[in-house]
């Protein structure tokens, strides 16, 4: 017997262990020493008293950390689900994720949801949508200081009865200051509807409001339209991508305070002391002057000088990855050559079809606003029953209440008043 043979002969304890088939050890070749340890740490019976005490302390610390994290998580999500406003549960959870640096995860979940439930292809509008569109059929351009606009071009031919035909949404002083129409966004998604609004800028005043969470903080302007400030209100629309997580790729300025960074080249809504509004590229069409009271930036122009932007189909230009090519709920705002405002909200729009709708409606410069079901909105207001508290109506139903800006608004928005 040589020295090597002596190293591999089993001892008595090895013989006993191999005789027990229930100890979970893996069989080994005869003459090889068997390993008894099944876990990467010692069994408690093999520890000294001091080692057992240390393990107990470590175990308790780990369990306390887990309990603390679970408690914080429950409290944090509970706060997100109960903050003021009309946001739905899905929107609140998505906002919570983005607030906690989980934007990429939220985007990926939205991608998967889109792949599982893509928009329908083909088909027709519902009877209710057809009736709403047909209600404009008798409208026609008329004379006066503010005539009804001529029907806008449509993406699908032949057009449905009333499609693209404008009707008065708000009349003030006998003038149709806010007009609206409905169209199908494209031939492929013919069972969906987009709404287009037009506002006479020379007869209206425009004001930027903050949201209490986006951009957050304290402003002299409230994150709502409170009682006492509703007389003359004719329209509201939503803001853009988030400032706080940088997805807007721009900044927010209101009454002397800036959130984010006002970026040269960013598409911008600019609000002035006299109540007027301009839309353009920051640093080229619009810039900071003494009479600017508000700026809302979001990405870059979709329509410029009456033409679609050259990067309209480029990934990341109008959302995360290929968000720009998804057919989802979107919104955008533009300005005509005369300075009037065009606002579009739609149910199944890509970046390209949103831009085309704003272009068809007469916008020479137009920019994207927020997207997905919780955020796009355009409301007109009827003051016939109560001028101090006009009744809001959604131009297109996204599931959010029409009076969302009569309560604390999560995100910034624009309010429009008759002059």
pLDDT digits (tens, 9 = 90+) for 193-251: 999 999 999 999 999 999 999 999 889 999 999 999 999 999 999 999 999 999 999 99
Interacting residues of 343 by C-beta distance below 8 A, sequence separation 6+? 196, 197, 198, 199, 235, 237, 331, 332, 333, 334, 378
Q: Is 120 left (phi over 0), alpha (psi -120 to 50) or beta?
A: beta
DSSP secondary structure, 355-405, as one string = HHHHHHTTEEEEEEEEESTTS--EEEEE-SS-TTSPEEEESS--SS-TTGG
Residue of higher predicted confidence among 17 and 406: 406
User: What pairing do the DSSP bridges indicate for beta strands 303-304 and 363-371?
Assistant: antiparallel
Q: Is residue 258 in some structural domain?
A: yes
Q: Is 217 left (phi over 0), alpha (psi -120 to 50) or beta?
A: left
Q: Provide the pLDDT for residue 320.
A: 72
Query: Which secondary structure element, helix H or strand E, spans residue 102, and what is its range?
Result: none
Q: What are the angstrom distances between the C-alpha of 49 and each of 53, 114, 166?
A: 6, 57, 85
Q: What pTM did the predictor assign?
A: 0.82
Among 171, 177, 235, 205, which residue's Cα sits nearest to residue 384?
171
Query: Which secondary structure element, helix H or strand E, spans residue 81, and what is its range?
Result: helix 49-82
Q: Which two tokens stand for residue 147?
A: 């005539």
> Over 50: is that where the pLDDT of 23 sits?
no
Q: Provide the pLDDT for residue 13.
A: 42
Residue of higher predicted confidence among 33 and 254: 254
| pLDDT tens string 85-138 | 777 777 777 777 777 777 788 777 777 887 888 899 999 999 999 999 988 765
DSSP assignment letter at 411: B
Q: Provide the pLDDT for residue 18.
A: 42
Q: Is residue 10 in some structural domain?
A: no
Residue 169 burial (CB count, 10 A): 24
Residue written as token pair 């893996």: 26
SS3 content of the chain, % helix, strand, coil (to 5): 25, 25, 50
- Measured CA to CA, the distance from residue 330 to residue 398 in angstroms comes to 11
Q: What proportion of the chain, given as a percentage, has pLDDT over 90?
A: 62
Q: Is residue 298 in some structural domain?
A: yes
User: What pairing do the DSSP bridges indicate for beta strands 307-308 and 267-272?
Assistant: unpaired
Q: Where are the alpha helices (DSSP H) in 140-256?
A: none
Q: Is residue 343 in some structural domain?
A: yes
Residue of higher predicted confidence among 29 and 388: 388
Residues 139/167, Cβ–Cβ less than 8 Å: yes
Q: Provide the pLDDT for residue 1.
A: 45
Q: Is residue 244 in some structural domain?
A: yes
> Over 70: is that where the pLDDT of 141 sits?
no
Range of the domain at 158: 127-418
Residue 410 burial (CB count, 10 A): 24
Among 135, 141, 144, 139, which residue's Cα sits nearest to residue 174?
144
Mean pLDDT of 388-407: 93
> Over 50: is that where the pLDDT of 9 sits?
no
> Over 70: is that where the pLDDT of 52 sits?
yes
Q: Is residue 5 in some structural domain?
A: no
Q: Is residue 212 in some structural domain?
A: yes
Residue 183 burial (CB count, 10 A): 27
User: How big is the chain, counted in residues?
Assistant: 419
Q: Is residue 385 in some structural domain?
A: yes
Q: What are phi and psi of 274, to 5 degrees?
A: -85, 5
Q: Which two tokens stand for residue 316?
A: 């990341």
Residue 378 burial (CB count, 10 A): 27
Q: List b or e across 213-246, with b for residues whose CB sees 16 or more CB atoms inside 10 angstroms.
A: bbbbeebebebbbeeeebebbbbbbbbbbbbbee
How many structural domains does the chain have?
1
Q: Among 29-43, 55-69, 107-121, 123-137, name the one with the lowest average pLDDT.
A: 29-43
Q: Provide the pLDDT for residue 358.
A: 98
> Over 50: is that where the pLDDT of 266 sits?
yes
Q: Provide the pLDDT for residue 107.
A: 75
Residues 248/239, Cβ–Cβ less than 8 Å: no
Residue of higher predicted confidence among 34 and 270: 270
């Amino acid at each position: 017997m040589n020295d090597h043979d002596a190293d591999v002969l089993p001892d008595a304890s090895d013989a006993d262990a191999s005789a027990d088939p229930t100890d979970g050890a893996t069989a080994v070749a005869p003459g090889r020493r068997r390993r008894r340890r099944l876990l990467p740490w010692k069994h408690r019976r093999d520890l000294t008293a001091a080692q057992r005490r240390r393990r107990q302390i470590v175990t308790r610390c780990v369990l306390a950390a887990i309990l603390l994290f679970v408690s914080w998580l429950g409290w944090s999500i509970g706060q997100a689900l109960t903050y003021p406003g009309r946001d739905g549960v899905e929107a609140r959870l998505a906002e919570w994720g983005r607030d906690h640096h989980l934007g990429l995860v939220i985007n990926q979940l939205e991608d998967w949801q889109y792949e599982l439930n893509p928009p329908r292809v083909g088909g027709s509008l519902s009877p209710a949508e057809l009736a709403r569109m047909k209600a404009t059929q008798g409208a026609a351009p008329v004379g006066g200081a503010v005539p009804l606009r001529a029907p806008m071009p449509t993406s699908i031919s032949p057009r449905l009865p009333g499609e693209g035909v404008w009707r008065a949404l708000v009349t003030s002083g006998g003038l149709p200051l806010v007009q609206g129409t409905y169209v199908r966004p494209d031939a492929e998604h013919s069972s969906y509807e987009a709404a287009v609004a037009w506002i006479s800028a020379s007869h209206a005043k425009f004001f930027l409001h903050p949201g209490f969470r986006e951009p957050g903080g304290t402003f002299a302007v409230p994150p709502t339209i409170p009682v006492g400030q509703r007389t003359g209100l004719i329209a509201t629309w939503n803001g853009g991508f988030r400032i706080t997580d940088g997805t807007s790729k721009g900044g927010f300025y209101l009454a002397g305070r800036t959130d984010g960074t006002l970026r040269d080249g960013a598409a911008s809504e600019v609000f002035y002391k006299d109540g007027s509004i301009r839309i353009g590229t920051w640093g080229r069409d619009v810039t900071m002057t003494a009479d600017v009271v508000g700026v809302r930036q979001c990405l870059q122009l979709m329509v410029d000088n009456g033409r679609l932007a050259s990067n309209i189909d480029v990934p990341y230009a109008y959302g995360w990855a290929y968000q720009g090519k998804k057919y989802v709920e979107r919104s955008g705002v533009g300005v005509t050559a005369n300075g009037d405002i065009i606002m579009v909200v739609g149910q199944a729009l890509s970046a390209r079809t949103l831009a085309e709708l704003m272009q068809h409606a007469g916008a020479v410069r137009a920019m994207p606003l927020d997207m997905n079901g919780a955020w796009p909105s355009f409301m007109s207001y009827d003051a016939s029953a109560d001028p101090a508290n006009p009744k809001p109506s959604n131009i297109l139903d996204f599931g959010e209440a029409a009076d969302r800006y009569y309560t604390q608004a999560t995100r910034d928005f624009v309010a429009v008043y008759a002059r």
